[in-house]
Structure 1
Amino acid sequence: MPSLRSRALSVALVAAGRRRGLASAEAVRALVAEAARRPASHLPPRSLGRVAEISRTFVGAWPVYDASPRGAEPAARVLYMHGGGYVHELVRPHWAMVRTLVVQARARVVVPAYTLAPRGTADRTVPVAADLLSGLIEAGGEGGTVLVGDAAGAGLALAAAQRLRDRTGAQPSRIVLISPWLDLTVSHPDQEALEALDPVQARSGLREAGRLYAGTLPTEDPQVSPLRGSLGGLAPITVFSGTRDVLATDSRELVRRAREAGSEVELYEEAGLLHSYPLLPVPEGRAARDRIVELVRSAAAQ
């Protein structure tokens, strides 16, 4: 059973109407139009600078933040791809995860503020993400490279790993996917029932966000929906998902298909937990973050 704090948060999210951003195609279009008029900030919070050395470079049009532990050599490298339906910028829970990885895992964390849809589309975004991953792996040095993504960022992370595999055969030490959005068609038959339980997302809004990110590609294209691509030859994958998440089907299908393809994959599915629960301030989220820290530390020992 979910903790009392998790249940209270679920009630609060329903009361606050947190579905409104992805509640419908119209809501997504309104969100995108507002972002075009008044772009949201992707800057890290000042508090992160107290524990991390932070720099920013540009890869094409992408601002890319690089956070490393203050006063210590990083033990591992992490490429972190943030979620938000491909239409939301980095927000405080994403930066809180970055802080956890810097402080507790002693990792150097590279965080791209990738171009959002509809300007940023899969055909443009996936190759740049794959280049960033390749550069971190090739940088070598102490420790390994871990690829981490949440929600839409997890889909982008997996697509980047697939592209790099096809291009050079290289892979990170591990791939960690948090409530991944991997099939942007949002067409799994179990999702109708899950939607009724999910206080955060709705299928119609997800489909519209997916359409914008797909651009000229069909949403079935593996660059857009990496669940529909080859899942063999990938690094070991760890997946976190909650059962009150309309996208839980993507995690389950990934585990099934990856194992059929011969890839190593493990799933942590928490009953009654919400979308991206490892980013939330609840006991189950803290336990998931502890596990992610363990995985990054394991990569550091490789």
Structure 2
Amino acid sequence: MASLLGDPAPVDPALISEAARAGLAADAARPPSGPTMADRRARSEAIQQEIGRARMARDAVTMREATLAGVPVRVFEPQAGAHPGVILLNLHGGGFLVDAGSITEAAPLAALTGRQVISVRYRLAPEHPYPAGVEDALAVYRAIAAAHPDDRIVLFGTSAGASLAAQLVARLKHDGDALPAALGFFSGTADFAQWGDSLDLFGDRGAARAVIGAYLGERAAEDIEVSPLRGDLAGWPPTLCLSSSRDLLLSATAAFCRALDEAGAPATLIVFDGLPHAFWSYIDAPETDAAFRAMARHLSLTTEFRP
């Protein structure tokens, strides 16, 4: 779907699969949302239900609504049952303003890893600026850790969710909590004060400022609590950074991966060619399947995962 940070640039048809072209065309043909934030959220949820439930049916995954530590969550499990030992915690995308991934990002990874995936439906801006989303994620993380002391927690997020995931790791490290066993940082930024070249190439800097202003509220973009790339990254968990070559947050994703590497934290960057921001969350194509397989290899904490 069109990014809240600006519309994606046209894609060269020679670079991507026919299915990807069809998916992008179908998304572009969707009717626009109404003018209010409620309209935008309703449209985003409708897309989540449409695409996400099709993925759940295809991948034999169940979903239930629940509450952890007073925070609404969605819990995903393979119909065959989840493997024990690892729980995946998802922070969805949507520009901090809407939910654009709590089903479409989580269901495929529950199927591929065979693990339980819990997606946090954190409070949204502008009604609830920073640190509301991080506080919600922290509460759920600690509730899972307390209820499953023998399980490892793996954290991942796309777009706004990737930024929240990085902020959560920084908060956990600051507070002395056990860190996630692995981190999936998919097409996000960990430095709100420096966006990089790809935003100018494929996005809208004015739209980005408006979205981030709504999220940060009175907090300065240079603050290491909201921009953890500017803080101490030593000891961070193994991190997979994933983006695409026409992604407006490619520069920011790559910059964070490089900063982790320079700090001695294990970090891998994967970039898909010719596709726009967070494509895996809203189109079905061979590239989407490959992206989720790459995520699953990292997040399952094993070389074995369900194909």
The percentage of aligned residue pairs carrying the same residue is 25
Give 2:81's aligned residue. 72
Residue 81 of structure 1, aligned match among 67, 74, 91: 91
Give 1:275's aligned residue. 277
1:52 and 2:62 matched? yes
CA distance in structure 1 between the aligned counterparts of 2:152 and 2:179, rounded to whole angstroms = 10
Give 1:161's aligned residue. 169
CA distance in structure 2 between the aligned counterparts of 1:299 and 1:134, rounded to whole angstroms = 24
Q: What's the offset of the Cα at 1:172?
A: 1.1
State the AA in 2 paired with 1:292: M
Give aligned pairs, total.
283
Give 1:180's aligned residue. 188
* Structure 1: 4+ residue segments shifted above 4 A: 13-18, 33-36, 38-50
1:118 and 2:126 matched? yes
Query: Superposed, which structure 2 residues align to 1:249-288 within 5 Å?
Result: 249-279=251-281, 280-288=283-291
Give 1:97's aligned residue. 105
Task: Tell me the TM-score normalised to structure 2 length.
Answer: 0.79
Q: Output one character per residue of 1:107-139: Cα deviation in whole Å (capped at 9) or x when no partner.
A: 111111111101221222213312322333444
Q: Output one character per residue of 1:163-200: Cα deviation in whole Å (capped at 9) or x when no partner.
A: 101111511111011111333345435532x22xxxxx
Do the aligned residues in 2 keep the contact of 1:185 with 1:220 (CA within 8 Å)?
yes
Residue 239 of structure 2, aligned match among 229, 237, 258: 237
CA distance in structure 2 between the aligned counterparts of 1:87 and 1:125, rounded to whole angstroms = 11
Q: CA distance change for structure 1 residues 296 and 216 in 2, over 3 Å: closer, same or farther? A: same
Instruction: Specify which structure has the higher proportion of helix.
Output: 1
CA distance in structure 2 between the aligned counterparts of 1:228 and 1:238, rounded to whole angstroms = 19
Q: CA distance change for structure 1 residues 13 and 221 in 2, over 3 Å: closer, same or farther? A: farther
CA distance in structure 1 between the aligned counterparts of 2:275 and 2:53, rounded to whole angstroms = 30
Do the aligned residues in 2 keep the contact of 1:68 with 1:107 (CA within 8 Å)?
yes
Give 1:198's aligned residue. none
1:4 and 2:17 matched? yes
CA distance in structure 1 between the aligned counterparts of 2:299 and 2:270, rounded to whole angstroms = 16
Which ranges of structure 2 fall in alignment gaps of 5 or more residues?
1-13
Q: Output one character per residue of 1:216-246: Cα deviation in whole Å (capped at 9) or x when no partner.
A: 2112223333333332221100011111012
